[in-house]
């Protein structure tokens, strides 16, 4: 059996609904800032409970626009976790700011709050970016939010993987000052290409983000800011509107598959040792099932090579700390005690997990892991 790491399975009636909407756009010649974008705005705010949403061209632009909107610019210091995707780091560089990485907490794989406090004292950052990796978030997110509010530090939440996640019983974007997301096709809410967005509960910041994403416009030929051409087109908006109708079902499917993996581990014979340890989101977080998260007992490469022989494709999200990337050059400053990110990057392995996985697919992965176990 061949099991992909991800399969973008959709419901039987999904594609026909999308095609119908696309044909309507063609008939109306409506491609930018049309009815679908307005509809998307209403539906996504209803789903996330945020107050304002600004669609843009991709998740990287969303981060850059958010940074610019709160006034981050040349030589400002921005703290970010060492464990994230390159776009988080890239966005800081692209607005002219200086990134400083902070190591992660081994309990939740998010920025370590105690190291964050040390970094605050040392660098006096203008902003920090928290990354809600795996659809999880820091178990101390409330403390991060309160600290930044009291100290007047801008907190940007990179939620590219977190739409549909809950923290302390509330949608994760509901209480965020400003947060971003990505609609890359493999995300929980994916488009038919690139797309992104910004959530904020601040009306003034929302207005600035809207302008920055559309050439800094104050009127059609009036430009208050130097911005971007970063608009979400109607093709993607139509696709996302339909996808939102199915999002709850897709998340439920993902979480059921994740639960089956964890049940397999829990029920596994006690006299044998699996080659990995499966992780669940901390109790404070009700995740969206974006990725299955495990730690290999050896290394990602060794275990993934063994599973690939059996036709099982795994992920390694992510294989390198930001501070170790060649592109970081001399801008690789890291606040750490034990370099936890370096260890996690070597061992993290993500088993196949996607909407509507079949039981036989999950069973095959589990049986293959069982075959690799040690007595």
Phi/psi for 88 (5° steps) reads -60, -45
Other beta carbons less than 10 A from residue 173's beta carbon: 30
Question: Would you call 248 helix, strand, or coil by DSSP?
Answer: helix
Look at residue 85 in the predicted model and tell me its pLDDT.
98
Question: Would you call 299 helix, strand, or coil by DSSP?
Answer: coil
Phi/psi for 90 (5° steps) reads -60, -40
Q: Examine the domain organization and report whether 180 and 281 are in the same domain.
A: no
Q: Examine the domain organization and report whether 341 and 193 are in the same domain.
A: no
Token couple for 298: 């050896």
Specify the CATH number for the domain of residue 272.
3.90.1150.10
Q: Does 2 fall in a domain?
A: no
Q: Examine the domain organization and report whether 281 and 166 are in the same domain.
A: no
Residue pair 310/369 in contact (Cβ under 8 Å)? The answer is no
Q: Examine the domain organization and report whether 68 and 145 are in the same domain.
A: yes
Specify the CATH number for the domain of residue 154.
3.40.640.10
Q: Does 8 fall in a domain?
A: no
Q: Does 9 fall in a domain?
A: no
Q: Examine the domain organization and report whether 269 and 231 are in the same domain.
A: no
Q: Average pLDDT, stretch 298-302?
A: 95
pLDDT tens by residue, 255-281: 999 999 999 999 987 778 899 999 999
Between CA 93 and CA 103 the distance in angstroms is 19
Per the structure, the complete domain to which residue 318 belongs is given by 247-371
Look at residue 268 in the predicted model and tell me its pLDDT.
86
pLDDT tens by residue, 330-373: 999 999 999 999 999 999 999 999 999 999 999 999 999 999 98
Token couple for 320: 């390198």
Domain termination residue (choose one: 218, 242, 266): 242
Q: Examine the domain organization and report whether 325 and 197 are in the same domain.
A: no
- Most distant CA pair in the chain: distance in Å? 72
> Average pLDDT over the chain, rounded to whole?
96
Domain termination residue (choose one: 223, 242, 261): 242
Between CA 38 and CA 62 the distance in angstroms is 18
pLDDT tens by residue, 21-74: 999 999 999 899 999 999 999 999 999 999 999 999 999 999 999 999 999 999
Q: Does 231 fall in a domain?
A: yes
The fraction of the chain above a pLDDT of 70, given in percent, is 99
Residue pair 230/213 in contact (Cβ under 8 Å)? The answer is yes
Q: Examine the domain organization and report whether 220 and 259 are in the same domain.
A: no
Q: Does 74 fall in a domain?
A: yes
Q: Does 107 fall in a domain?
A: yes
Question: Would you call 7 helix, strand, or coil by DSSP?
Answer: coil
Q: Examine the domain organization and report whether 341 and 259 are in the same domain.
A: yes
Number of domains the chain is built from? 2
Domain termination residue (choose one: 242, 266, 288): 242
Look at residue 258 in the predicted model and tell me its pLDDT.
97
Q: Examine the domain organization and report whether 128 and 224 are in the same domain.
A: yes
Between CA 9 and CA 16 the distance in angstroms is 14
Q: Examine the domain organization and report whether 181 and 254 are in the same domain.
A: no
Q: Does 90 fall in a domain?
A: yes
Q: Does 7 fall in a domain?
A: no
Q: Examine the domain organization and report whether 89 and 131 are in the same domain.
A: yes
Q: Examine the domain organization and report whether 275 and 224 are in the same domain.
A: no
């Amino acid at each position: 059996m061949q099991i992909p790491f991800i399969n973008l399975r959709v419901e039987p009636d999904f594609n026909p609904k999308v095609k119908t909407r696309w044909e309507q756009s063609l008939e109306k010649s409506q491609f930018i800032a049309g009815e679908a974008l307005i509809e998307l705005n209403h539906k996504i705010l209803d789903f996330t409970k945020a107050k304002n949403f600004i669609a843009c061209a991709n998740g990287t632009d969303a981060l850059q626009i958010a940074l610019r909107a709160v006034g981050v610019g040349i030589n400002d210091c921005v703290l970010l976790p060492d464990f994230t995707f390159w776009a988080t780091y890239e966005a800081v560089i692209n607005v002219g700011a200086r990134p400083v990485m902070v190591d992660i907490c081994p309990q939740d794989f998010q920025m370590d709050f105690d190291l964050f406090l040390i970094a605050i004292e040392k660098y006096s950052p203008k902003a920090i970016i928290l990354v809600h990796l795996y659809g999880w978030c820091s178990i101390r997110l409330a403390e991060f939010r309160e600290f930044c509010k009291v100290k007047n530090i801008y907190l940007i939440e990179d939620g590219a993987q977190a739409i549909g996640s809950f923290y302390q019983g509330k949608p994760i974007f509901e209480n965020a000052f400003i947060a971003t997301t990505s609609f890359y096709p493999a995300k929980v809410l994916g488009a038919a290409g690139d797309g992104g967005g910004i959530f904020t509960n601040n009306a003034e910041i929302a207005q600035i983000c809207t302008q920055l994403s559309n050439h800094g416009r104050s009127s059609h030929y009036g430009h208050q800011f130097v911005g971007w051409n970063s608009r979400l087109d109607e093709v993607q908006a139509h696709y996302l509107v339909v996808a939102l109708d199915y999002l709850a079902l897709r998340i439920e499917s993902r979480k059921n598959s994740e639960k089956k993996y964890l049940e397999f581990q829990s029920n596994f014979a006690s006299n044998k040792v699996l080659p990995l340890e499966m992780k669940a989101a901390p109790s404070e977080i009700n995740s969206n099932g974006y990725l299955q998260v495990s730690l290999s007992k050896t290394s990602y490469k060794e275990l993934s090579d063994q599973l690939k022989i059996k036709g099982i494709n795994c992920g390694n999200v992510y294989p390198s700390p930001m501070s170790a990337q060649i592109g970081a050059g001399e801008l690789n400053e890291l606040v750490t005690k034990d370099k936890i990110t370096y260890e996690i990057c070597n061992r993290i392995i993500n088993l196949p997990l996607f909407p509507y996985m079949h039981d036989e697919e999950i069973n095959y992965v589990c049986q293959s892991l069982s075959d690799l176990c040690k007595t």
